Structure formats: structure tokens, C-alpha cells
Chain A
Amino acid sequence: MASLPTTPSGGVSRLRNIRIDPVILTFVVLLLLWGFSVYRNEGFRTVNYTMLTLRTASFLAIVAAGQTLVVLMGGIDLSVAAVVTMTGVVAGNLMTQIGQLGGILVTLLIAILIGVCNGLGVTVLRLPPLVMTLATLSIIQGVLLVYNAGKPVSGKSPFLEFWAKEKILGFPAAAWVTLGVTIVCVVLLHFTSFGRGIYAIGNNPRAAFISGVPTTAIQIATYALCSFFSAITGLLILGRTGYSSKTAGDPYMLMSIAAVVIGGTSILGGRGKVVGTIGGALVMTILLNLLTVENISESVRMMIQGGLILALLIAYSVTED
């Protein structure tokens, strides 16, 4: 009796097993892109320009680092855009009323509370993370419009200005902040039970729960941390421009997700590294600079960004087994 062929397996998936660490891939792409931009344009070869790129990338990298934590946990945070904007508006206002330090601290506290709300919505109300953070995004935007009627607020702060504009040991102060944030994330992710919990929840929340991981607390804390990092970027933007605008945070929603995806973190959670995201933020920044210099309009830039994320998502889903 002829035996029937069994379903094909093995062969193809074995090939896929030989995979390069996506983080390394990110940095290879970064190097190539940087090389290309330097080759195309003389202005890109100066130290000044490189430092400017580092600073611009830092603003994105800090938000994206927070986004990475949330995505690793299987969530997503769309409200980062509103938190960045909120920070500028609220800190700008408060600093004139209760002083620099007080204004900054209160603003950071508000940001953390927003993150806690996101976490509560996701865990206690069991809302899909995207819906919950979309809702908070809308609410914050609405409240800000009412609070401030959308007018720019000037908020001079020498302290914030220093971190946003000055250099330490020849590197932008903002880059040092990014370094600090990165170290904090790496330590949290790889040397604490909190970080182990994030990876476990992102891969399999049920198994994590059964293994005794405090899933609710970790999710709330992670959303809070993401909001906190977004607020740092909001403060840095305020320091750079000296005034707050109601659209300051808008680009960060998609850009932070793009940096995470380019950095090799799975959008479905559980796999990835913060270091990859930092590379992803640099890739995004250099790419946008390049497109700007090449006179590519904002419209095409947006299409390229959206298309890039879509292409990466598709590439990811096709290679996954």
C-alpha cells in the first residue's frame, strides 16, 4: 500500500533558522545609509552636522525607547504623541507660575499618571492597548486645546535649554540623556525581574501569569515608564524651541513605532532590544535628513515612512513561521 506524503515541514523552516540578529542588521543598514548620505552630500561630512543628527535622533530615541518597552510587552502606545505635546504646554505654563524645578516635576508626574491610566485601561478594563491609548491620545489633545486654546506658550528654562542645546565632552547633552535612558532600559530589561516579566508577557501572557509574574503591575509600570520617557523628550523640545506648540508631539507617534520596528523588535511583542531601537531612531533621522536635502516633499516623506513600516511588517510576517 502506497504511503501518502506527509505535510511538508522541516526543509524550509530549517533555512529560516539561520537568521542574523536583527539588531546587527539595523546597524548595518545605519552604516550603509550614513555612508550613502555622506557620499551624496558634502555638508553631511562635518562634525557639526553629525552632532546635530545625534541630537535630533536623541529626541526620537528617548520616546522610542519607551515605546520599545511597551511593544516588547505585546502592547502599543499611541498616546506618546499627546504626552510629548502635553509636556511642552504644561511645563511651559507651570514653570512661569511655580518655578522651573516645580514645573518640571509636576509635568513629569502628570505624564506618569497618564501612563498609569493607560495601564489600568489595558489591565483592569481589558481594553486592547491600541484603543486605550488612542482614547487617551484624543482626551489629552482635547483637554490641551481647551486648557490652552492651542496657542504657543513661551517657556524659557535655562536648565532645559542646557540639556537640549549644549554639549558635554563634545557630544550633545541630549545624546547623554539618551545614553542614560538606554542604560536604564537595558538594566531594567536584562537585570531585573521586571524586565524578565516584560519579555515573558510579550511572548505568552498566560504562561507568564501561571509562572507567577505580576502581569498587571508590570503592564501598568511599563506604560508609566513609556509616558515618562515621552515627557523627557517633550521637555527637551521645549528647551530647544523655547516655546510649546500644540503639534510638537505629532510626528512621534508613527516615528517611535517606526524606530521600534526598524530596530528589529517584533510588533507582536516578546522579541527585540532597546539598542536596536536606538539604531532605528538614527536610521529614521538620517533618512528624513537625506530626503529633506534631496528636496523630497513632506508628502512623499510621509508615504515613504508609512510604506517602510508596512514593508517591514510584511517582510516580518512572511519570514516568521
Chain B
Amino acid sequence: MTVTAETTTGSSATQATTPILRTVELTKSFAGNVVLDRVGFEVLPGEIHALMGENGAGKSTWINLVTGVHRPDSGTIEFDGTAYNGLSPHQAESIGIATVHQELSLSPHLTVAENIFLGRLPTTSLFQVDYDRIESESARIFADLGIDIDPRALAGELPLAEQQLVEFAKALVAEPKLLILDEATSALDKAQVELFFSSLRILRDRGVAVIFVSHRLEEIFAITDRITVLKNGEYVTTVPTATTSTDELVRYMVGREITDIFPPKPPIDELLAAPVVLSVRNLSSGHRFQNVDFDLHRGEILGLGGLQGQGQRDLLAALFGLHRVEGEVLLNGQPAPARGPRAAIGQHYAFVPEDRKTEGLVLQLPVGDNLALPNLNLVSRSGLIDRGRERALIDSLVAKLQIKLRSPKQKVLRLSGGNQQKVAIAKWLPQQPEILLLSEPTRGIDVGTKQEIHRLMRELTNAGASILLISSDTIELLGLSDRVLVMYEHQPVVTLSGADVTEENVVHASVVGGETILDRAIARETAQGIAELVETAETARERSLNPLAKLAVFSKLSRAWQDVLPIYAVTVFFIVLYLYMNRDTFDIDTINNLSAWLFPLFLATMSQAVIMLTGGIDLSTGNMMSLFTCLLATQMYDNPLSMVKAVVLVLVGGALIGLFTGAIVSYLKLPAIIVTLATSFIWAGAALWVLPSAGGHLPRSFSSRFIGQIGGVVPVSLLVLIAALLFWRYGVKRTPIGVGIYAIGDNERGAFISGLPVRNLRIVAYIIAGLFAALAGIGLSAYAGSGDPLIGTTYTLAAIAAAVLGGISFFGGQGYLRGTIAGVLSLGLVTQVLFISGLSVAYQRVIYGLVLIVAIGIKTLAAYRIEERR
């Protein structure tokens, strides 16, 4: 069966009749389930084409095939006159297909302009990123869109809606012939949607084809020219928007054949007369869901309907104590706020999350261990697990649910999807749950097992349990639920009960929303003030994240300087203290000495900072430095040529070590922390091998040159440091490579989607770090006047502490090397102050340790709090 699109087109697609995109018999199945079955239709240039369908209709799969995320099993994609059997993401982009995904791919700590041009950054003749150009072009795009976003702002600090618009701008820069918008308006408010639409119309009039997916039906009617409906993985029809009504659309989307047989439901009147087990009043959890009200009766299955991602899953998780909530939860009439899984289990809740592989089960553990995990209290005697009772419990569960396995010692991983799901449900039964929170209990499993699970659910409710059910399969939801609560835009819109539980009603409420939502939309339009109020609250929140921004003086500084200001204040304090303590002996030599003494720590910290920017950490920095001092002290003789040779040898060595470590970390995907722990011992051993004890024959002339001054004034070490910083700034940071290094540490997946060579960029970062470590080693041997196989040991931790203190994030992508200057100065001066004041220098180790715990601890806690509050 070949289905082609009708040739009648919408209002404005008049200038061209050759389709830009034509899919022919596209078919795709996952694990034996056909999710897209011979789907074919055409998209014309200069039209906005909506793609509609229920959950699981095949929209996402179709988009993934066209954008190259997946390859079709069969069928062709004809784009701009060429037929393809399948595309790669890169290929799709190069032939002119751009996508704005629902999930954001921005690097939060890069600027808006950098994000928009990531993967195609233009450079000046000196290989510098052409910031003037990307900023002015970004500004022009925003001006065209009619929105005001600062191209220099950090993407992560924009409100969600503006981030979505940045994603849109990023897609536009590619100058696509086909633009796919997958729920690209979900975070926008009404005014922003209008702006967005007017620029979409401009694009359309330029001949760009747009595919538009949205759960908001009003938007589809407002902007699209034609609508294609998919159902059950199959093509249904393509209709012009202008002559189609909501009811007609809903009819196209529904009407699936009911092939499954569901267990009989009890009479609804009886059910509603049963006592209320769980009562939820005005429950909200940040942006996850708001104002949820419902009563769950004893023996009832209450379905949570609506399109995917309308807050249903978070609601179940919140009831199980996984999210903070506001509002009332009454359990058998008593207030019972959710406090966490253990408390919830004690209240006889059971939770089967929709993702059994990451949340529902411990896949790598045996079936038996998984079944016993929540029930160990039941099979233990005086603290010890009674293996016999445990085995009996496991066997009874396996028998009850007819789980097919070779032995309970088999890993869950090895079971079929259906049997895995049975384990995920069975493990809760010994706890005799009264409220079961089931999210997608039958997703991706065979029909036979599906029916077994359906029967089990009814058995449980007939025995007095109650179930809250999420299923994106509307037919299943209808077949099982006594009542259905439909959610739309994170709020409940309607509760259907008894004979009203029909596909038509559920789908209608899912795509149109209920009256509540319509009322809200009207209210929003008439009272614009509310939107503005929200806007002000948002900006206030953003401000509070960066307290210094409040002060006018500071707001004039660039963002980077604002970030490092606090540590500079600390540094100034230590400088003053240090100068005061040294007031009698202070002269130019003191500065010179200080510079030469701090130089190794400076470079070690820069080396560490580069690795940390990629999201890694290097535990081998110090031992690498030891090795380099030993190499210098054995390879260098008192003549200029030999000195140059030895220095070059060490620099090349640093680069090679970086290449080695970087290759292992990025190609074998091993954690940097463990790899460098192992290599640190190799370098330490190598250092001892080169030079068994401190000494060597490092020429005096080399030392005195490096720690001396030029013209008796400017310390050489300071000049080298400045050269290294300039190299970082102009040779790396402001080039596309530098932006790439920040991007991979910030959002590796986003960087990959933007087409960056993630693995090679990481290796480059390690090579740069190796070079900095080599310089640190050179400075260290010059200052010590010798080689020493143990001299570098303390630098590893000191460098991590200084980098963290200087604002380099432990989690990558964030921080500036200018901050590390202050971090190093502070830590270095603390040591000096300890020394001068006669306290043990050993305290410095305590300080390094405390700095690590406090500085990183504060950041992780803050990040966690923000995440929790969202």
C-alpha cells in the first residue's frame, strides 16, 4: 500500500508544487514492534505542515528517521530531488534539514552567540573566533524575530522560553530548506508564540518548508497550512487546515481497533461508594505539575491521561516522595506528606517507574536479588538474611507471576522485557501495597504478558488495593481505568468516569485541554498584567542567582570579571597581609622571588583547570612535574643548545603524555580520575628511574636565568607566565577549539549534536594541559636548582584546590583562567603567611583539603537545591 499526499495545498503554498521532502513507505521497528509502518507523505516548500497523532502514533520516530537519528528498516526519504535509504545527523544537516528539539541542546555557560554558531564558528585571519560577527549576526536574527536577547548573555541564565528561541535561532543560522519544530513552542507564552509565528510566516514566504509538532491544537490551527495525521504507526490522511475542524481531527486520530481483551471492571457506582484511600488536594511541585486534585477509591484504577510529558509521571514520583510538593495528601483521611521512598513503602505505596531499566530494577543484579531487595526485612532473622526464607519468597513470586527464567540467579538484564516488567511489579507484592503507582506497566512487552499484567492489576484491586495508572497507550488506559484524569499543560483538566471514559473524550481533552485551560487562556489575554508579573518574578530570580549584579558598579563589568571578583577580594586581603608582614624586608627581590616560587603552582593550576573545563580531573599533574624536573636535571648541560634541547624535550614529553592520557580517557571512555590515578604512579616511577634521588646536574646558569629579571626589573618567570596566559587566551580560548573545550565540558551531548569533534577536542585539552604541566616542571626545577623525583607530589592537590578556589567548576565547562590567578595567589600567600608567622607549613595541606570540601560542597549543594526547586 502506497499512500501519497493529496496535492491540494494550503493557502500560501502556491509558488511550488514539487515537494521538498517525500517519504516513501518508511518503516521502522524496535525490538520486533513495528512503530512506523510504510508511512509516506509529502511536504511542500513554503508550507507549514503539522504532524499530529496520539502518543505512540509514530511522530517522533518519523522525525528521527528524517533527521538521521535512526535509520529506517525500509523505505526512502526523498529530499530536494535525491532519494536516500537513510541519513546520518550530519548528512541531514548538510542537505538542509534543521531541527529544534523539545529537549534543549544549549551549553549553559557559553554565550548566546557562541551557542548559535557552535559547530560553525567563523574566524578572523588570526584564527580567533569572530565575536563581532557572531554577535551582530545573532542580534540581527533576534531583531528579525522581534525579540530582545543579549547575544553576550550566558545561555543558561536566560528564562526557558528565551532558551527555546535561541535554539530556534541556531536552527535558522543553518539556513535550512526544511525546518522541523518538535514541540518548539512548549515553553513560550502567548505573546512569544505570536512573535515566533510571525517569523515562521516570513520563513514560509521565503520558501522554507516547516514541519510543526505541538500539543497545543490552537497553535496548529493558527499557523499551519496542512495537517498530516498518523495513527498507530500508520499514515491516516493529510488535510488542509483551513477546511478542517477540531472534531474532524480528533476523529482521524482515534478509532483504533481494540484487539486486546481487558478484564471486566466493577460497576462504577459501587466503586465510588467505596471509601477514599488517597485524597490529593491542590498538589503542586514547581514546574512539574500544579493544582492537582483527585480522590482515589478503594479498589479503583484511576488512569492519568493526556499527551506525554504533561506532568503525569512527576505526579506519581512525587506521591512516592521523590519530589518536593506543596498541597495536601491525605491517606485514609490522615495527612501523609511524602517524605521519601522508605516512608512511602511504610505507608504501603508501591511504585513502578516507567523506566524499568534505570529506575525500576537493578539490571545487573540477579532476578532473586531484585525481588528480595524491598523485602529483606521480611526474610531476615536477627539481622541476618535467612536464605531459605528468601528463596521461598522468590520462588513464590516467580510462580505467582509466572516469570520465565532459568534460575533466580540469572541477571534481570537477560530476561525478556515482559519478564523484566513482571519482576519490577512482583518485587512490591510481599509488602502488601495498598496504593500502586504504575507508570507504563506494559510498555514494550508482548501481548501475552500484557494481558497477564492486566489481569494481575484487577486481581489486586479486587483484593482491595488501588491503582494510579499512567499509560501512553490510550486504548489500554481506557480498557483498564475506572476513571481517567486527563492532564494538559501540567494541570488536570477533566475527570472522566463510567460511560464517559471513551477514546474520543480522552483524546479531545488531551489535545484541546479542558475548560479550565481555555478560561485560563482567556484570563491571560485579558489580564496581560499577570504575564508581566511572572516575568518580573523570573528576572528577580535570575538576579538573585548573581547577587553582585545588583550593584550598578559591578554590572558594568563583564560577566567573567563579576564571577571572579570574590576570589580577587580574598586575594587582595592576603596580599595586604603578606605585605604587612614583610614590610621591613620588602623590595624588588621579594616580588621576584615570589613570582619564581609561585610560577610552578600557577602553571600546574592552569594545567588542572584545562582538564577540569572538559569535566575531568588530573591526579597525575604533580608526578608529571617531578618527572620533568628529573629529565631536565639529567639532560641539561651548561650550554645554550643543551638547554634549548632539554626544554624542548620536556615540552614534547608533556604534549605526548597529554596525548596518551587524553586518548585513553576519550576513546575508551574511562573516568579521567581513575586513569590519571594509575598514570600518576607510572610517572612517579619514571621520575625515580630517571633520577633515583634529588640532585642531578641542572646548570646554575639555567636556574639563575629563569628566576632572574630582565633589565633588573621584570622577573623572567612572570614573563613566561604572562606568555602562557596569552597563549591560552588568544591561542586557545578565543579560537573555535577553546569554545569547543568549554562546550564539551558544559553539555557534551549538545556539543555532539552541534557537530563538534568531541573526542579530539578532549585530546587537545589534555595536550594543552600536558604542555602547561611541562612548563610547571621547568619552573619548579629552576626554582629548586635541581631535579627531584618527589618534589611535585603536593602540587596535584594544591592545583585542584587553587583551580576550584579560582572558580573553575568541578563539573566542567565553567570558569576562567583569570580566576585561577587569584586562586593561586591566595593559596600561595596563605602558605607564605603561615611560614612567616612561624606556624607549621603542614597546615597548608589541611587548608587544601578544607578548600576542596567547602568550595565544591557549596557548589554541588547549590546546584542540587536549584534542581530540586525547579
Contacts and interface: CB of A to CB of B under 8 A. Distances in A.
Interface of A: 1-4, 6-7, 76, 121, 125-128, 130-132, 134-139, 141-143, 145-146, 149, 187, 191-193, 196, 199-200, 203-204, 206-214, 254, 257, 267-268, 270-271, 297-307, 309-310, 313-314, 317-318
Contact of B682 (A137, A138, A268, A306): A306
B369 interface: yes
A206 to B, nearest CB: 6
B421 to A, nearest CB: 14
Closest 3 CB pairs of A and B: A302-B685, A142-B845, A306-B681
B580 interface: no
A314 B76 CA distance: 41
Given A204-B362, A313-B670, A213 B373 contact: yes
A246 B99 CA distance: 61
Given A125-B853, A134-B797, A211 B373 contact: yes
Contacts of A126: 857, 860-861, 864
Contact of B679 (A125, A137, A200, A306): A306
Contact of A297 (B353, B427, B669, B688): B688
A300 B688 CA distance: 8
Nearest to B688: A299
B384 interface: yes
B850 A214 contact: no
B363 A306 contact: no
Contacts of A1: 25, 74-76
A208 B860 contact: no
A304 B689 CA distance: 12
**Majority-rule SS of B interface residues:** helix
Given A199-B369, A297-B688, A310-B678, A146 B673 contact: no
Interface string B651-682: 00000000000001000111101110111111
Nearest to B369: A196
Given A127-B860, A301-B685, A270 B364 contact: yes
B764 interface: no
Is chain A's binding surface mostly helix, strand, loop or mixed? helix
B685 A306 contact: yes
A187 B382 CA distance: 13
A298 B688 contact: yes
Interface size classification for chain B: 35 or more
A4 B840 contact: no
B681 A254 contact: yes
A137 to B, nearest CB: 7
Contact of A141 (B73, B351, B845): B845
Interface centre among A132, A138, A303 (most CB of B within 10 A): A138
A287 B853 CA distance: 37
Given A138-B852, A149-B840, A313-B675, 19 more contacts: A121-B857, A127-B856, A134-B797, A134-B800, A135-B848, A193-B385, A199-B362, A200-B362, A210-B341, A210-B351, A212-B341, A214-B342, A270-B365, A297-B688, A299-B685, A299-B686, A313-B678, A314-B670, A317-B670
B361 A207 contact: yes
B72 to A, nearest CB: 7
B385 A191 contact: yes
A137 B342 contact: no
B849 interface: yes
B85 A4 contact: yes
Contacts of A2: 74, 85
B383 interface: yes
A199 to B, nearest CB: 6
Contacts of A187: 384
A142 B362 contact: no
Contact of B341 (A137, A211, A302): A211
A138 B804 CA distance: 16
B684 interface: yes
Contact of A303 (B362, B374, B685, B864): B685
A138 B850 CA distance: 9
Contacts of B359: 206-207, 210
Contacts of A271: 364
A199 B71 CA distance: 37
Contacts of A127: 853, 856-857, 860
28 contacts: A2-B74, A4-B73, A125-B857, A127-B853, A128-B673, A130-B677, A134-B619, A142-B845, A146-B840, A187-B384, A191-B384, A191-B387, A193-B380, A196-B385, A199-B362, A199-B365, A206-B359, A207-B361, A207-B362, A211-B373, A257-B677, A305-B681, A305-B685, A306-B681, A309-B678, A310-B682, A314-B664, A318-B668
